[in-house]
Structure 1
Amino acid sequence: HNDIRARMSQVTDPYLRERIHDLDDLANRLLGHLIGEAEPTAGMPLPEEVILVARSMGPAQLLDYDYSRLRGVVLEEGSHTAHVAIVARALDIPAVGNAKDVLSKVEPGDPLIVDGDNAQVFIRPGEDARRAFVESLRAREERKAVYASLRDLPAVTLDGQSISIKINAGLPIDLRLLDDSGADGIGLYRTELLFMVAADFPGVEAQRRLYADILDKAQDKPVIFRTLDVGGDKVLPYWQRSAEENPAMGWRAIRVSLDRPDILRQQLRALIRAAASRELRLMFPMIAEVAEFKAARAWLDKELKWEKELGFPPPSKFSVGAMLEVPSLVLQLPALLKQVDFISVGSNDLFQFLFASDRGNPQLSERYDLLSPLVLTLLRSVAEQCRAAGTPVSLCGDMASRPLEAMALIGAGFRDLSVTPSSVGPIKAMIRSLSVLALCEYMNSLYDLDQHDTRQKLGSFAQEHGVII
């Protein structure tokens, strides 16, 4: 393993270098099986509060730990846009990647401060640093108290525009956060996390129980299930796959489901049964052309017909959408809008592909800005086309979870955002202090700029107009 790891670290392609993390994940799991511990980390006794420091880690490996005790994750490799960091933030765990040589500087039991907001790690901090951090935490708790006071207030702008705020979820614990945050529903339920923590492919009944429990706990709030999205850096440890030169653009997500229809059919069957006599909302990930959506939808129609023949009660209503994550689909958007019930923009992958920039590569993670005129123009075009067609559109990537970016999304025409649970309060505070009319008028001057980004300009607008960001 060390020899292969050394050779992979010399590969010039950054995405292939990132696959070292997958190798480490598989190697650690194999070692656990060989020494008789099927889940070597799951049973480890952890202190009440612990910060996990590692060379690298996959999302499935993170979920092996008792994340109720994790207070931070620090990785020598990877970036803040890697999937493990996204999962950590979804659990409200601060995560810092690309912390060079941190393992050689930290001893077990050392006190650490992890500032996920600013990507900083303080090792054995002095008294001044501790006091400053305690003060920062106190201010953070005060802000959280302010956000909590907004829980039952509507997300309506100063000029009366209503904005829907939903959360991204993927674990049973997220259902508690749905209620605590006051969100309108779940705009993205990542079904692959069930597959990533299971010992083998979950069967129809295991999936049905989980999906039914989610719908039960969500009560009358909408839940949008995303069908299985594995591949890239989301590895199933029990599934042997051949190596790919570029996994992010390889065999993943809907491509796997269409090429292995039994996997898709079992999941659709479980979702249909879970939503018996209730509304079922689902979407297919990484659709690159309309033909892929139509093929996936055909399998859904077959399963609905089959379940009816077997005597299972069907959903009372269902909505089927597509995730807009591949730039090629933007060119087919008029044709797609005739087929779908809704669109969900997945900004993480969409802009990775748009800029040909591996989001797991720390050298590139800050190179391109989501608030560039190019991105804002693209998003405005998508929102306008969906509005003209009468098709609901939302955005469920990390972009929606940051107040300044969320403000820009609203200015570009989005009225439905799906964010991390911890971001609901800050986003609602921003919305309730915003005038959409003034923002839209200002942003009309930004779309044709040839600058790298509009971040400073939008920040100045927010400051001048009293928008809380």
Structure 2
Amino acid sequence: MSGRRSSDPPPSARVRALAGIAGAPGVAIGTAVVLGTQTLAYPRRHVVPQEFETEIGRFQDAVAQAQRDLREVAAQVGDRRAETSILEAYLLMMGDDALADAVKIQITEENRSAEWAVAAACASLAGRLALVNDPYLRERSHDIEFVGERLIRAFEGVPSPRTIPQMDGPSILVAHDLSPADTAALAGQPVIGFVTEVGTRTSHTSIMARALEIPAVVGVSDATQRIATGDLVVVDGMRGAVLVRPGPEELKAAHARADRHHAHARELSEGRDRAAVTADGVRVQLRANVELPAEAVLAREQGADGIGLYRTEFLYIDRASPPTEEQQFEIFRKVVQAMGPKPVTLRTFDIGGDKFVSTFPLPPEMNPMLGLRAVRLALSRPDVFLEHLRAMVRASAFGDVRIMIPMVAGLNELRQVRALLAQAQEEVRARGQACADEIPLGVMIEVPAAAVLVDHFAREAAFLSLGTNDLIQYALAVDRTSRSLAYLASPFDPSILRLILNVIRAGRDFSRPVCICGAMASDPLAAVLLLGLGMRDFSMEAAAIPEIKEALRRVSLAEAEQVAAEALSRATAEEVEACVAGAFAPRLCDLLASES
């Protein structure tokens, strides 16, 4: 008969190691405060036609109240621009016409009270987004849930489902999820770390945590059940690990790791505003990949030389009709002004494929990733695409704007987009609206056919941008969302290096700028290899910029070129990676360790 021996510690005292996703870097050690997950209570009442106008009016009042509440939170945040920008995005979502239309349909066609209509509309929109493979768009489902909760709480008589308690000492906040408003409201509280059950690195909670420089681990299954208020907790935001009730040895190791991270972060912070220059004085541009206006602010704070990729498809998700030109223009203008005078590259919408979007009725396809998506979809709807381009053209009056086309496979696509861009410029000028005299039009090289014919693209495009995520997927025939095949999708594969080198050479031959904006750019070893291949312009997640800047400062161009030449002679991804790591891992060990 088995059982717990008297010498064993009680279950509540045993150390637990919980795995999650690294949301924001750093190591925090503190006492857990667990927020309950009570369901938001609201009346579910059927209404009759005579009440429709009243219910719509109640919804409009709730929107106004929720926006006032959120502005109060923004005022508490003060001049921290990244956090304020995220809250402004929520204000826009609350007042979105598409959401209002969905709520009105719930009221007038489903005969639901305003509170119930908000809950149903948001649940429907969020549920559809949660099913997509694209992580950026999937994370927007949580944003819609947050907006729905804030709106319902704004109705008179609906109690808040939870309150964040006052904390006396260094605390680790544990919750199912935290909205940016919840996170911002913690200003002044001694919260030193976050643990949530849902979320990814692209979620607003993670972005806020990075802006506040608070270590966070997200996506920890059943965290609110496995951690109790009062537990001592270690949050490791580099490894995506949470240690509950650590012993003396674990605590000692955690404190040492926290000290190393603080010293490393301080060193990177001190060099944040310095130019990215190799050890032998070669200047490199480090730009940011962003999706939301708030991330543009973060990019500037991380020392970005501009935005190398601004994703615009979030504008089109969960809408019954496309966003208006004015709505798009206002967002693009904010991003351009936030980065000014540094350049901003706006990518035309890359939707279709695995990116669910209700704006366009897409045909069912056996393989949507190879179907009507990105530039193909845009050219099939020139009316919608022209509005998109006009908004970009107008934003060019406020700073250095470049436009980039995704998923281009043939020159005819580039030529058609160029003609539409010229038409958009003519229409903007005819209205008397300001715009730049010239707007560079470039292409993303992410389809193997474009990489093979890159010399032709380099003749006609103003610049080339390597989208290595999709290039790897298509060149190696590996679904990049498949965990079982992830080991095959290596950026160090020799075939990928040869395609990249082909693009770099074409850019050099035709005097065209070449940028790389895939995840490969944010890997220190890969970045040094790319430098040796001839890359001088990188774009990556803003948080990675200080580390890549530091990695490039530690190597000379001459040695990077020598190692790249050796790597090109290798036959497998493993051999290439071993070649690069053997040369550079010893001097980049602290940067590489911060990722693990």
TM-score bracket, normalised by the shorter chain, equals 0.7 to 0.9
- For residue 350 of structure 2, the aligned residue among 221, 229, 234 is 229
TM-score, with normalisation over the residues of structure 1?
Answer: 0.79
More helix, by proportion: 2
* Per-residue deviation, 1:74: 5.7
SS at structure 2 position matched to 1:266: helix
Q: Deviations over 1:242-290 (max 9, x none)?
A: 5443332232221221112222111111111222264421101111222
Distance (Å, rounded) in 1 between the aligned partners of 2:297 and 2:137: 31
Q: Deviations over 1:34-88 (max 9, x none)?
A: xx9699xxx976859656769xxxxxxx998867689466669xxxxxxx65567
Distance (Å, rounded) in 2 between the aligned partners of 1:38 and 1:261: 41
1:287 and 2:405 equivalent? no
Match of 1:415 in 2: 536
- For residue 355 of structure 1, the aligned residue among 472, 476, 479 is 476
More divergent stretch after superposition (396-405 vs 365-374): 365-374
Match of 2:444 in 1: 323
Query: Counterpart of 2:418 in structure 1: which amino acid?
Result: R
1:260 and 2:260 equivalent? no
Match of 1:457 in 2: 579
SS at structure 1 position matched to 2:485: coil
Distance (Å, rounded) in 2 between the aligned partners of 1:341 and 1:163: 19
Distance (Å, rounded) in 2 between the aligned partners of 1:27 and 1:180: 25
- For residue 426 of structure 2, the aligned residue among 275, 286, 305 is 305
1:126 and 2:246 equivalent? yes
SS at structure 1 position matched to 2:277: coil
Match of 1:192 in 2: 313
Match of 2:546 in 1: 425
TM-score, with normalisation over the residues of structure 2?
Answer: 0.63
Q: Is the 8 A contact 2:347 2:406 kept in 1?
A: yes
Distance (Å, rounded) in 2 between the aligned partners of 1:155 and 1:23: 33
More divergent stretch after superposition (223-232 vs 197-206): 197-206
Q: Which entry has the higher C-alpha Rg, 1 or 2?
A: 2
- For residue 165 of structure 1, the aligned residue among 279, 286, 291 is 286
Q: Is the 8 A contact 2:352 2:374 kept in 1?
A: yes
1:332 and 2:449 equivalent? no
Distance (Å, rounded) in 1 between the aligned partners of 2:282 and 2:468: 23
Q: Is the 8 A contact 1:433 1:468 kept in 2?
A: no
Query: Counterpart of 1:143 in structure 2: which amino acid?
Result: H
Q: Deviations over 1:158-181 (max 9, x none)?
A: 222110011111222223323321
* Per-residue deviation, 1:127: 3.6
Q: Is the 8 A contact 1:254 1:286 kept in 2?
A: yes
Q: Is the 8 A contact 1:185 1:222 kept in 2?
A: yes
* Per-residue deviation, 1:343: 0.6
- For residue 342 of structure 1, the aligned residue among 431, 446, 463 is 463
CA 1:227–1:152: 2 relative to 1, 3 Å: same
Distance (Å, rounded) in 2 between the aligned partners of 1:239 and 1:37: 29
CA 1:20–1:38: 2 relative to 1, 3 Å: farther
* Per-residue deviation, 1:213: 1.4
CA 1:63–1:282: 2 relative to 1, 3 Å: farther
Distance (Å, rounded) in 2 between the aligned partners of 1:27 and 1:274: 29
CA 1:238–1:138: 2 relative to 1, 3 Å: farther
Query: Counterpart of 1:126 in structure 2: which amino acid?
Result: P
Q: Is the 8 A contact 1:286 1:326 kept in 2?
A: yes
Percent identity at matched positions?
A: 27
* Per-residue deviation, 1:301: 1.0
Q: Is the 8 A contact 2:394 2:434 kept in 1?
A: yes
* Per-residue deviation, 1:321: 0.6
Structure 1, unpaired ranges of 5+ = 1-15, 55-61, 77-83
Distance (Å, rounded) in 1 between the aligned partners of 2:535 and 2:298: 24
Distance (Å, rounded) in 2 between the aligned partners of 1:21 and 1:390: 33
* Per-residue deviation, 1:404: 1.0
Match of 1:364 in 2: 485
Distance (Å, rounded) in 2 between the aligned partners of 1:20 and 1:313: 36
Q: Is the 8 A contact 2:532 2:557 kept in 1?
A: yes
CA 1:234–1:95: 2 relative to 1, 3 Å: farther
* Per-residue deviation, 1:388: 1.0
Q: Is the 8 A contact 1:286 1:324 kept in 2?
A: yes
CA 1:297–1:125: 2 relative to 1, 3 Å: farther
Q: Is the 8 A contact 2:276 2:552 kept in 1?
A: yes
Q: Deviations over 1:110-163 (max 9, x none)?
A: 877665644x54464534545534543332222111011112222111222110
Q: Deviations over 1:425-460 (max 9, x none)?
A: 111111111111112122212212222322222112
Q: Is the 8 A contact 2:551 2:588 kept in 1?
A: no
Match of 2:323 in 1: 202
Match of 1:445 in 2: 566
CA 1:269–1:410: 2 relative to 1, 3 Å: same
Query: Counterpart of 2:528 in structure 1: which amino acid?
Result: M
Query: Counterpart of 1:459 in structure 2: which amino acid?
Result: A
CA 1:122–1:216: 2 relative to 1, 3 Å: closer
SS at structure 1 position matched to 2:548: helix
CA 1:22–1:399: 2 relative to 1, 3 Å: closer
1:391 and 2:516 equivalent? no
Match of 2:82 in 1: none
Distance (Å, rounded) in 1 between the aligned partners of 2:297 and 2:397: 23
Query: Counterpart of 1:151 in structure 2: which amino acid?
Result: R
Q: Is the 8 A contact 1:168 1:186 kept in 2?
A: yes
* Per-residue deviation, 1:209: 1.1
CA 1:117–1:278: 2 relative to 1, 3 Å: closer
Distance (Å, rounded) in 2 between the aligned partners of 1:366 and 1:74: 26
SS at structure 1 position matched to 2:310: strand
Alpha carbon RMSD of aligned pairs, Å?
A: 4.0
SS at structure 1 position matched to 2:350: coil
Distance (Å, rounded) in 1 between the aligned partners of 2:496 and 2:536: 17
